[in-house]
Structure 1
Amino acid sequence: MKYRSLLALLGAFVSCLLYHTESVAQSSASKPYSSAAELANRLKSLSNRYGTFANLQSIGKSPGGKDIWLLTLGRGTAAQKPAIALVAGVYGPHLAGTELAVQLAEKLLSAANQDSVARLLSSKTFYIFPSINPDAQEQFAARPRYERVGNNTATDDDRDGRLNEDPFEDLNKDGLITQIRVEDPTGTFVASKDDPRVLVKADPAKGETGRYVLISEGTDTDKDGAFNEDGAGGIDLDKNFTFDYPFFTPGSGEMPVSEPESRALLDFLYKAPNVYAVFTFGPYNNLSEALKFDRTKTIRRVITGILEKDAPVGEQVSRLYNGQTGLKDAPAMPPTKGNFAQTAYYHYGRFSFSTPGWWVPKTTASTDTTKGKSNAKPSDNEDVKLLKWADANNLRDVFINWQPIEHPDFPGRKAEVGGIAPFARLNPPVSLLNDAADKHLKFLTAFVRQMPEIDVVNLRTESLSGGLTRVTAQVINRGLLPTGSEIGDRVRFVPKMKVELRTGNGQTVVSGRKRILRSPMAAGESMEVTFLVSGTGRATLEAGNAMTGIKSIDITLR
Structure 2
Amino acid sequence: MMKKLRYFCIACCLWILGMPLFAQPLISFDKYHTTTEIQQMLKKLQQSEPAKTQLHTIATSPGGTPVSVLEIGKNLEDVPAIFVGANFEGNVPISSEGALAFAKMLLDSAKYTEKIKWYIMPLPNPDAAKGYFEGIKFGRSVNDFEVNNDMDDVSNEDGPDDLNGDGIITQMRYKDLEGSFVISDKDSRIMTKADKEKGERGEYKILEEGIDNDEDGKYNEDGIGGINIGISFPHLFPFEKKEAGKWAGQSPESYEIMRFIFDRPNIAMVYTLGSSGFCIVPPKGGRKGGANLSNIKIPGRYARMLNADPQKSYTMDEVIALVKENFGGEMEITPSMIAGMLGLGAAVNPLDEDLKFYTKFSEDYKEYLKEKNFDTERLDPTPAKDGSFELWAYYHLGVPSFSMNLFTVPKVKEEKKAGEGDLSLDDVEKMSTEEFTALGEEKIDAFLKANNAPDRFSAKGISEMMSSGKFTPKQMVEMMKKMPKPKKEGELSEKDKALLAWSDSEWDGEGFVAWQSVKHPEFGEVEVGGFVPYLESTPNPEAIDSLLQIQLPWLLQLSEKIPSVLFADEKITDLGGGVYKLEIYIENKGYLSYPIAMGERNSQPAPIVITLDGEVDFLEGISRTPLGSIGGNQVKKLTWLIKTDKKPTITAKIESAVFGTDVKQIKIGG
Q: TM-score, normalised by structure 2?
A: 0.71
Cα separation, 1, equivalents of 2:127 and 2:606: 34
Query: Is the contact made by 1:72 and 1:127 (CA closer than 8 Å) also made in structure 2?
Result: yes
- Where does residue 501 of structure 2 map in the other structure? 388
1:4-403 equivalences in 2 (<5 Å): 31-74=30-73, 76-77=75-76, 80-109=78-107, 111-112=108-109, 118-291=110-283, 297-298=292-293, 300-326=344-370, 327-331=376-380, 333-365=382-414, 379-393=492-506, 395-403=508-516
1:442 aligns with 2:553: yes
Deviation at 1:484, TM superposition (A): 1.4
| Range with bigger deviation, 329-338 or 346-355 | 329-338
- C-alpha offsets along residues 163-217 of structure 1, whole Å, 9 cap, x if unaligned? 1111222222222222222233432222334432222322222343323322222
- Where does residue 516 of structure 1 map in the other structure? 625
Query: Is the contact made by 1:91 and 1:149 (CA closer than 8 Å) also made in structure 2?
Result: yes
**Matched residue SS, 1:72:** strand
Query: Is the contact made by 1:136 and 1:233 (CA closer than 8 Å) also made in structure 2?
Result: no
Cα separation, 2, equivalents of 1:482 and 1:442: 23
- C-alpha offsets along residues 449-497 of structure 1, whole Å, 9 cap, x if unaligned? 1221223223334567666665433111122111112222343442113
Identity of aligned residues (%): 29
Cα separation, 2, equivalents of 1:124 and 1:407: 59
Q: 1:159 to 1:513 in 2, by over 3 A?
A: same
- Where does residue 470 of structure 2 map in the other structure? none
Deviation at 1:388, TM superposition (A): 0.7
- Where does residue 497 of structure 1 map in the other structure? 608
Query: Is the contact made by 1:270 and 1:493 (CA closer than 8 Å) also made in structure 2?
Result: no
Q: Residue 497 of structure 2 aligns to which amino acid in structure 1?
A: V
Q: Residue 96 of structure 2 aligns to which amino acid in structure 1?
A: T
| Range with bigger deviation, 453-462 or 154-163 | 453-462
Q: Residue 311 of structure 1 aligns to which amino acid in structure 2?
A: L
Deviation at 1:368, TM superposition (A): 8.9
**Matched residue SS, 2:259:** helix
Query: Is the contact made by 1:461 and 1:472 (CA closer than 8 Å) also made in structure 2?
Result: yes
Deviation at 1:396, TM superposition (A): 4.7
Cα separation, 2, equivalents of 1:248 and 1:367: 45
- C-alpha offsets along residues 196-250 of structure 1, whole Å, 9 cap, x if unaligned? 2222322222343323322222211112222212112411223322111222432
Query: Is the contact made by 2:275 and 2:381 (CA closer than 8 Å) also made in structure 1?
Result: no
- C-alpha offsets along residues 97-144 of structure 1, whole Å, 9 cap, x if unaligned? 2221112112222x22xxxxx132011112112111111111111222
What is the RMSD computed on CA atoms of the aligned residues? 3.1
**Matched residue SS, 1:400:** strand
| Range with bigger deviation, 325-334 or 153-162 | 325-334
Deviation at 1:533, TM superposition (A): 6.2
- Where does residue 3 of structure 1 map in the other structure? none
Q: Residue 499 of structure 1 aligns to which amino acid in structure 2?
A: I
- Where does residue 520 of structure 2 map in the other structure? 407
| Range with bigger deviation, 201-210 or 222-231 | 201-210
- Where does residue 11 of structure 1 map in the other structure? none
- Where does residue 115 of structure 1 map in the other structure? none
Q: TM-score, normalised by structure 1?
A: 0.84
Q: Residue 261 of structure 1 aligns to which amino acid in structure 2?
A: E
Deviation at 1:517, TM superposition (A): 0.7
Q: Residue 367 of structure 2 aligns to which amino acid in structure 1?
A: G
- Where does residue 15 of structure 1 map in the other structure? none
Q: Residue 251 of structure 2 aligns to which amino acid in structure 1?
A: E
Deviation at 1:552, TM superposition (A): 3.1
Query: Is the contact made by 1:507 and 1:536 (CA closer than 8 Å) also made in structure 2?
Result: no
Cα separation, 2, equivalents of 1:307 and 1:92: 30
Query: Is the contact made by 1:56 and 1:70 (CA closer than 8 Å) also made in structure 2?
Result: yes
| Range with bigger deviation, 144-153 or 336-345 | 336-345
Structure 1 regions of 5+ residues with no counterpart? 1-23, 113-117
Deviation at 1:509, TM superposition (A): 5.0
Q: 1:134 to 1:181 in 2, by over 3 A?
A: same
Deviation at 1:329, TM superposition (A): 4.2
**Matched residue SS, 1:522:** coil
Query: Is the contact made by 1:480 and 1:524 (CA closer than 8 Å) also made in structure 2?
Result: yes
- Where does residue 458 of structure 1 map in the other structure? 569
Q: Residue 297 of structure 1 aligns to which amino acid in structure 2?
A: N
| Range with bigger deviation, 85-94 or 286-295 | 286-295
Query: Is the contact made by 2:61 and 2:127 (CA closer than 8 Å) also made in structure 1?
Result: yes
**Matched residue SS, 1:226:** coil
Deviation at 1:154, TM superposition (A): 1.1
**Matched residue SS, 1:358:** coil
| Range with bigger deviation, 263-272 or 465-474 | 465-474
Query: Is the contact made by 2:100 and 2:122 (CA closer than 8 Å) also made in structure 1?
Result: yes
- C-alpha offsets along residues 385-423 of structure 1, whole Å, 9 cap, x if unaligned? 122123233545422222222222222x2x222221222
**Matched residue SS, 2:552:** helix
